[in-house]
Structures are given as structure tokens and as C-alpha cells.
Structure 1
């Protein structure tokens, strides 16, 4: 008689069960857009108050980085260390330098004003993907969009703007992996998240349903696990299987990124607050 012992592969824990999100501050109106620089400091927006703030990874302190920030929403750092911002006030994509001067990278598509750039991801070649849903703002004079389609656009390293993905109800969160050549787009208006293969020229192929859950902001860790936001954080492995839910004691969790010196701290923006959670995994570079 031969005894065969089978083993199954289990998911490695991404966070100690004892660890809970730690509130850093709740002195804001609505927080969004966390983006980590090369040192692990996290910049985020207080969107209704039109400002960008900075969380110092060394001191754990928060300071105002920039006022009159174009009603910045989602943000991301490019490979040169410039801060990219989805500047919602005039539906633009901004590039902000160290002196807080901004350059408008995109303001329209084929002469029509964008709906409202919302979230950003930069690929390994320096190309920029951004979502462009329409959310009517009380600070806009316009009452309807010039572009009826809510799409995802791609600004190539050569500054050519093209439609990357369409056929979506209301795309919002976006995150990718240059290593795996994958892009994830959350269609929050249809409660779905899709994965795409990224071609060499930045075009997207092989659209697949990743999970039947939408998301506001998103991030990804070194193992390819994808973190969706909304009612807390929900984590899915690369196969689209749910592996973890992290409750956040706020009505809405808007966005998330990995920060800290070692990229192992999850920085979470939720309603009027920001939280930090120590992780057993690091963010994907």
C-alpha cells in the first residue's frame, strides 16, 4: 500500500492578523490620490479644499505641499520624479515639478474637453494611462460632457494621446504591472474590474473580466495581488480570487498605495481621514 500525501499551495499572508489600520489624521474634507515618491513619502489630495498634502515617511507627520492644486484627484509619480495629477478643475492632466509649477500635459481630445481625468498609472516606458469618467462637479460651469464616452486614454512617451480602452460605463481606478505587462481598470459604474495585456506600443489587448467588483482607487503588491477600494479594502490574487478584506472604519475608502521607506506600508485615504497599515508584502515597483 502506498500512501500519497497531497499538498495544496496556500496564499502567503499579506498582513499580520493582529495589525490594524492606524489613523494618522481625520482633519480633512475628502482624501484621495495617494502617490509615493522614491523615498516613500506619500502625497495625497484633500480634493474639496483644492490642496495636496505630504505624509513624511520618516516622521509620520503631514504637511501642506501645494495649494491651488487644480482640484487634483488621482496622482502618480513618473520615472523622473515629477508628480502627475488628474487636475479635475479644468479636466486636465498636470505635471508638477519640485517648485510646484505645473505643466498641462493634456486638456482635450480631438478638440473636445475631457470629462474629468480621475486616476493615473505610468508604464515602464513613461507612457501615462488615465481614466476619464464624468462626475458633475459643483465648481464647473458646464452641465454636460463634450465627450459622451467615458474612456481610458494613453499618453505615449512621445506625447501622442490615444484611446486605450472604451466600452466602459464609468472607469475609475487604474493600476498596472510593467513586469507582467498587465493593466487593471475598474469600471465602478458597472461594478466590474477588467484586466488587459499591454502591448509594446502601449495598446491594450485581451480584455478579461478580473472580478465582479468595481473600485475607486487601486494598488498592486509585489506578488501581483490587486487591492480594490470602496467598503474598506478587498484584495484579489492575480487569478481574480478574493484573498483578504481589510475593514476601514469610514463610510468610503477612496484610494490606496504602498509607501514608506521599504514600500511595506499601506497608505489609505478614506472619507475625511488617512490611515497607515504595516504589511508583510511590499508594493510592486
Structure 2
């Protein structure tokens, strides 16, 4: 079992103001705290409000770890863990996880048992589910790039492209929702769930590939509309993102976390000493950024409230 305590605040400023409007998001005197370190790639932070617990994925270690702010305790949440990646929490407080080894979405029940939810579409297996969100109606949306699948097998195992899918646990229906992504990655909905934001990290797959954030309109049981590029990484690397109650976008990149207005305007950053992979809003007031990065997990209070998971 992993046991430990938070490692303390980082030296230097937590915030970088790009636009004066970012000042409203800052907490005076707030610092970036390093919660844990010791991985080659952390991912998938999720806040379990009923338990006051942050969980995240240590992908190379094939395990999930947890942090309890009330006690400062860090422990193993699950190991082995089927090469876990993205995580989220549904409206019943259950953890929903992208498991790369069995190429599926699975749910952790209140008693700790695992329920496999979906692992294929039209008889074809998924690549390696990467990130996941659950809407108010309980429908699960997830991205499925091929990062977690053996490159030598990508063309001969029945997988068809890299897409975003929509799975309805009530009906068992799974639908492919995108058709033109190279590597769909992080995704998040606007607070009213009328807009869906999806990152394409295709530049990691091919030299001329994209690394940007696209915006889609969401129709009830219909196809996605729009799909225009809202923010480009400009040579950098995006990954996961979350949205606050004001519709601002908090986006992981090489320097830490970027904050954008809903129209795409960059207004500020939360600075880290390494590349960030993903984030969530945690704590009782959902006003603490909890961030996974290359080797470590960080937290920082902000004057913003995360939209419902």
C-alpha cells in the first residue's frame, strides 16, 4: 500500500495573468501544493464528494491512488487496475473509469465491486478509452484514441478509427459521435450541456496532425453540430479539461493549466513545473483545482466553482 502525506507548496507564483479578467479567478495568497509524486504519467483525477476523496490513475503503475484532504492520507485505491486512464463521477456518486487493457468503460459500485459497462460497438472493440464525462441524464461520453493499444496490432484487430462515443446505460445503446478526429482526447460539456468541447492531440501521432480544442453543439439524440476550432495549442500540447459554472475552460497543457473564456480568449494560467495531463474541481466547495501532471499530482484553490461532473 502507498502511504504518504502532501509534499507542500511550490516556490514561485501560482498564477500568471494574461488578461485582467483572470484576476477574478485568483485567490490571494493561494499556492500550488504538490500532493504526491512518483509516477511516469498520472491521469484521470476525479473527486468523490460523498467520501471527500480525490482519486487518480497511475497508468504505468497499473494502479489508482487516493488522497483524503481531511487527513492528508495518500493510499492505494485499486491495484491492479486494468491500465486506468480517465475518470469521472456520475450523478449517483459512482466512479466511472476508462480501462485501457480491456478497452472498456467500467463503473465502481458503492460496495467497491466493478461493473463493466461497454467495450465494443457493432461487434468491434474500442481502441483504449481515454477520457470520460457523464451528463445529467446518465449518458456516458468518452474519447477513444489508440494511445493505449499496441501499435503493431492497431491495423489488424478490428478497431475502426479514433472517435468519441455516446453510451446510454439505460438502453445499452452506443453511438459513434465524431468522424474526423486524429486523436480525440479530453472532453467536457458546458454548464447547460448544450456545448461539447473536445481536444484533438493528433500532432502526437503525425507531424502534420492537430493539437487544438474544438467546440460542438449538442442536440437531443441528434448528431453533433459545429466542430470549429476554438483554441489552438500553437505548437504545444493540450490534454484534459474541465469547465466552471461561468463557462470558463480550464485546460491542461505543457505549462500547467490555462484558463479561457467561453469565446476562447486566454485570460490566465496556473503554473506548474511539469506538463499537466488533466484536472478536476474538488473540495467541499468544488473550488480547488486538483491536477495530474507528468510525475505528480497538485492542488490549488481558485475563485471558481466547477460545473457539475
Q: TM exceeds 0.5?
A: yes
Q: Secondary structure at the match of 1:229?
A: strand
Give the corresponding residue for 1:16. Answer: 27
1:123 equivalent among 89, 114, 135? 135
CA distance in 1, matches of 2:282, 2:60: 24
CA distance in 2, matches of 1:101, 1:108: 21
CA distance in 2, matches of 1:123, 1:78: 8
CA distance in 2, matches of 1:62, 1:24: 9
Matches within 5 A, 1:163-182: 163-182=176-195
Instruction: Please state how far the C-alpha of 1:201 moved relative to its aligned partner.
Output: 2.1
1:85 equivalent among 91, 94, 97? 97
Give the corresponding residue for 1:5. Answer: none
From the superposition, tell whether residues 136 and 24 of structure 1 become closer, same or farther in structure 2 (CA, over 3 Å): closer
From the superposition, tell whether residues 163 and 178 of structure 1 become closer, same or farther in structure 2 (CA, over 3 Å): farther
Instruction: Please state how far the C-alpha of 1:12 moved relative to its aligned partner.
Output: 5.3
Give the corresponding residue for 1:142. Answer: 153
Q: Secondary structure at the match of 1:49?
A: coil
* Per-residue CA distance 1:166-193 (angstroms, 9 max, x = gap): 2011110011135252111001111111
Matches within 5 A, 1:150-169: 150-156=162-168, 157-169=170-182
Q: Secondary structure at the match of 1:79?
A: coil
Task: State yes or no: 1:224 paired with 2:247.
Answer: yes
Unaligned stretches of 5+ residues in structure 2: 1-19, 203-209
CA distance in 2, matches of 1:202, 1:20: 43
Instruction: Please state how far the C-alpha of 1:59 moved relative to its aligned partner.
Output: 2.1
Give the corresponding residue for 2:217. Answer: 197
From the superposition, tell whether residues 182 and 94 of structure 1 become closer, same or farther in structure 2 (CA, over 3 Å): same
Q: Secondary structure at the match of 2:251?
A: strand
From the superposition, tell whether residues 202 and 69 of structure 1 become closer, same or farther in structure 2 (CA, over 3 Å): farther
CA distance in 2, matches of 1:14, 1:146: 46
Give the corresponding residue for 2:201. Answer: 188
Normalised by the length of structure 1, the TM-score is 0.90
Instruction: Note if contact 2:244-2:305 (Cα within 8 Å) is conserved in structure 1.
Output: yes
1:65 equivalent among 70, 77, 84? 77
* Per-residue CA distance 1:204-242 (angstroms, 9 max, x = gap): 222222111362111111111111112111111101110
Normalised by the length of structure 2, the TM-score is 0.83
Instruction: Note if contact 2:213-2:229 (Cα within 8 Å) is conserved in structure 1.
Output: yes
Instruction: Please state how far the C-alpha of 1:148 moved relative to its aligned partner.
Output: 3.6
Instruction: Note if contact 1:154-1:202 (Cα within 8 Å) is conserved in structure 2.
Output: no
Instruction: Note if contact 2:218-2:225 (Cα within 8 Å) is conserved in structure 1.
Output: yes
Matches within 5 A, 1:104-115: 104-115=116-127
Segment drifting more, 120-129 vs 214-223: 214-223
Task: State yes or no: 1:208 paired with 2:228.
Answer: yes
In the alignment of these two chains, the number of paired residues is: 275
Instruction: Note if contact 1:127-1:202 (Cα within 8 Å) is conserved in structure 2.
Output: no
Q: Secondary structure at the match of 1:54?
A: strand
Instruction: Note if contact 2:167-2:173 (Cα within 8 Å) is conserved in structure 1.
Output: yes
Give the corresponding residue for 2:86. Answer: 74
Instruction: Note if contact 1:57-1:261 (Cα within 8 Å) is conserved in structure 2.
Output: no
Instruction: Note if contact 2:128-2:149 (Cα within 8 Å) is conserved in structure 1.
Output: no
CA distance in 2, matches of 1:38, 1:120: 18
